[in-house]
Structure 1
Amino acid sequence: MGAGRGLLGLAPGRRILLNAVEWIVESVEPQLGLFVLAHADGHVESRSIRWLINHPDARMAKEVKAVGSGPGTQPRDAADLTPEQHRRARIRAEHVLEAMTGFRSGHPSRAQPGEPRPAYDPDRTTLTERRRVKVSELKAMPPQEAEMLGLRFMSLRTLERLSSATGESLLLACADGRWTRRSGGHRSVTEEVREAIFAVRKECKDRARIGMAAKHRLLHQYMKEQYPQFPTEKIPSRTTLWRVWHEWFGPGGGRQRYERSADEAEEAGVARRVVVHRPGQVLALDSTPMPVKLRETVFGDTVTATLTLALDLYSHSLPAFRLTLQSDTSVDVAMLLRDVMLPLPMREGWGEEMQWPYPGVPADVIAEFTGCGVAALPFFAPETVTTDHGSPYKNHDLVDAERELGCNILPARTLRASDKFAVERAFSSIKTLLFEHLLGFTGADVADRGADPEGDAVFTLAGWNT
């Protein structure tokens, strides 16, 4: 994207200067021609790409190296600060911005009541005059308040030095470097000890779970076998090993079988979360007992149904769902996939607002193909299907049907809720927004159940399926 000011790389995380004010691109929706800008003070705006192209003063911000980052270390980030430290650094940055621009927010469009103050009016004072006034103002502050905010020793030279930073870089420059001081490392962890620690971790991965004391003995054993001349007194203590282990490999609170599966997934290159780019790319299937008692159609008895959902992970829409008596089967799941691929006909009494909008395809073409009007419910051929390890989803007939449809099968890992977090959240939203307001709601468990949910049931299974 060029506008006579160089190339504008519109991507999440990039920094853009608009009227000399720095903004961060939070997200981009090219299919809608929109993007979201976020300011350092938390203000968020949604703009169109056309607006950015025609902006008179838009350019990319220079990449400024984070303050306090050294070679081989992770740069400091605002997330490293506690809420109190963030507040104190924000106050310091506001003083610097007021000396630079006359406004504590850094721009006239976000002026606070009473700004600019006469001594900081940019139309009547110079930059050097404002800095000198700011130094005098800070020196006149009560000593305890100035010391708490770190403004006691802010001189004219300090204000000049901080003026080169903007946005988050200014916030980090105003943060005390001692707040995010990094460890100087462990001098006792030499190359030989490092090799031994990784060897012990590899050995422990395939063994039963053991404590740090046993790992420390294995460390001594490895050093004695591989490096007999290495002094025993220079081997790190158990406390040092515990600290190094937590820094390098994390707390390690998981069970052994799941730690092994996570390591195997990382080695295979599939440990990262799937990134979805288009509708129908990944379809998540799951089932749960419906927390509302229903009436059976023939005899009117109270029954429990199972709700099976199909969730598109791109749009988070529900292309199809099914209610089955008691538990679902592989045939029910296969019919659910069929519902996902077929359009839903318009029903009597539905207005035009319920009709599906077709981007790029005339509605008459789809209506001629289906033989009727189509409701506003997505339908597509799923590319990848994500399921859990329940028996209906592992059935050979269902697997054959999915392969016949050309679907890739991506089972969720055992006890990994993050693999199907979206569909689990959909179940929770449906319960909160719908089921809790219906008669016959059973609650989360038996202790939270009503006096007689079976007697309160009024809805029928056939009524829900239609």
Structure 2
Amino acid sequence: MNAMRRPTGIEVGSWVRFDGQVRAVTAVTTTTVTLTATNELAVVVELDVLLRGEDFAVVDVPVRQPLPAGSLLETFPKAVREKALWWEGHILEVLHGLPPGADPGTSPRPEYRSDRSLTARQRAKAAELTAAGHKVAAQTVANYRRRYQADGIVGLADHRPVRKKREFGSVDDAVVAAMRQAIAEATDASTRRGTFLLWRTAEILRQTPAGRAVKLPSERTLYRLLDKLTRNTHTFSSATTRRSRAHGASGEFGELPVFAPGEVMQIDSTPLDVLVLLDNGVIGKVELTAMIDVATRSLTAAVLRPTTKAVDASVLLARTVTPEPMRPGWVDALKMSRSVLPHRRLLTLDERLEHAAARPVIVPETIVCDHGKVFISRNFKSSCRFLEIDFLPTHKGSPFEKGHIERMLGSVASLFAQFLPTYTGRSPEHRGRNLDQGRAWSLLELQDLLDEWIVAKWQNRPHDGLRDPSHPGRLFTPNEKYAALVEACGYVPVALEGDDYIELLPAEWRAVNDYGIKIKNRTYNSADLAPMRRRHSGVTAKRGLWEIHRDPYDVSRIWVRDHRGRGEWVPAVWKHLKRVPVPFGELAWDHEARKLPGATEAEIADVVAALLTRAHAGPGRPRTGTAAKKDRRVAARTRAARPSTPLPPAVPEPEPVAEATSEEPEELAEVIPLGLFDPLENPWRRS
């Protein structure tokens, strides 16, 4: 008779093996134990009988075992997999009485019936395998059974062929740590080669007491270690990408949800890959500064400057919240009234939109930017505070946090800049020859082309990031998305009033002389400046000079603050503005309207194609043909600079005598100055 075995403890909730079955303990007294089993009534067993049972054991896993990772078996060699499957069939017969694939209704063999203990079944299996030529002990069968119950079929496989090795082999940990430090030091430095990092690793080891006793492995081993440690770090490639990866977020990437126009906007600047004729007559490169709305992907403003300054960011912000005026030569199809934008609804709020271009007016709530000096300057921050805009700079070295504007700036190069004759390519190895001798556009001319391209192409181009949630296969254009969000969230843009717009412009302090005010060889004058001429402004800190605000991208006029009065703004017009260009009138509108009676998608596409063709041809290439003569006559009558504000009434110049042609005389419309955007005009005034 077996001696009584004392278990570690029997309590309610424990599971015990007794009489060939695993049962739950539901009650315990000093002399009896109540056991239960599935689909059976509870039985009361004397404690002495329970403990003396041949197969009695306390089962310490009362819950179902987790599902084993059987798919890992595919990583083992074929012979190992076959042996594991062979053992699985025998172990299943030991546990359940039947081997895999047994026909339904088959009865277990007598030595594997459930009324026999597990130990007896293991002994029977060992005897069976030994008789079949496989010398196996009962303890071996028991080991395989436990491994199968713990890890499934993977536990039956021989793990020696796939045993994990050390990540860096036999290389000392101190060498690994030193090389990691050398790679980390190279993150913000210029890109170097592997020989430098190996030298730096040896230097770091010599500088530490523990490292002096470490022997460096061979050069081939060090290069293999370097290859493992620098994988996906861009240590030997782009420095920008390397810094971005190193300083980027280590956790899960999140996304700032946006549901309305202006909720989140991003601003950035980058060199434009185009040579431009600068104001001083020298061919050079310029920087592009732009702002994009994340919700609609609308490019609300973009300006070109030789070098971006803090005042340029403020002017860009001012242009974002004011309408984009139509320009001389733009076709009627680019008007906001001909687009999908809710023109009628917006027109009731701001009459200046009557002749505006098809570009949304969006007032930012949050602006995301990097740590460039232009955007973290006091001037730009004060402009954001003035408009009650949240200023949100990204983490340093993390351009992906403003990925929308980064991608947009790249799209300008691929969709617009490459069509220009002086396109330089994205790097010196992509640059052509003799570009400085080509037909370079001036800075103002290129700005006009860019503004027209934004209205014609970008705002009407389907964007991959603007998809219909219900129909992901459909893409929206920025204008379509803006119109949809206006209907969905009730967004109503409130553009700046005149004084607010002027306040955002950069300020200078100048004297008001008899001839007016001179800024960069341009003289500005106005009759309203009479009380200020040769007078002290009263601002002692500025030596009596007068405060001047001007738009760097519009040379037509400036504004002077009347410090002696109530602080109102007095406009002054460029002296030669009325001599060279004539105010833009209805003649050009009628001329283009006859060409495009209705704006369609195809017409807008034609406008873009003509724009890119004109941009690639460069300046100074005249058109020929009858249509070109009409265009030249209209252009001669309506030639103007790019004013963002209407010109004061002026006496029209004598009309040039038309050339004698065989055509019938063309009836010309009356030249009427067209008011586009007057910052001092009340937008809510009703005529």
TM-score by length of 2: 0.30
Structure label with greater radius of gyration: 2
